[in-house]
Amino acid sequence: SDLSVPRSSDSGRTAPDANVLKNRKREPGSAGLLLYLAGGRVRSVELNRWQAAVHLRLRRGWSLEKALERLASEAPHVDENSVRDFFTFLQSAGLLPANRAQA
């Protein structure tokens, strides 16, 4: 659902670093799968379309303001609480670049 916090799972694999990211599609036209390292373990989170788009834009260097403006124009149905929950997740997982965490 577009209005949920991403589900997270722990693969049980170990890894040396905490912020290695990979974004890839799972199914055509559906969610993205975000793989990252945290606490020495590989973790995965399913992202819906708007979450994947925002995350990718931030990773490409977009400002938070510009990413949110684009989200508002592309997915006006996404409510403010869902966006806040997603950014809280990104911050708590250490996945939001420090210069993007302010807004």
Tell me the pLDDT tens digit for each residue of 20-54: 444 444 444 456 889 988 888 999 999 999 999 99
Instruction: Kindly state the helix (H) or strand (E) to which residue 11 belongs, with its residue range.
Output: strand 8-14
Q: How far, CA to CA in Å, does 62 sit from each of 7, 28, 35, 38, 39?
A: 25, 25, 21, 24, 27
Amino acid occupying residue 67: A
Q: Closest by alpha carbon to 45, among 54, 53, 36, 57?
A: 36
| Cα 29 to chain centroid, rounded | 17
Tell me, what's the pLDDT at 14?
A: 46
Query: Quick count: other Cβ atoms within 10 Å of Cβ 50?
Result: 18
Most confident of 4-13, 14-23, 35-44: 35-44
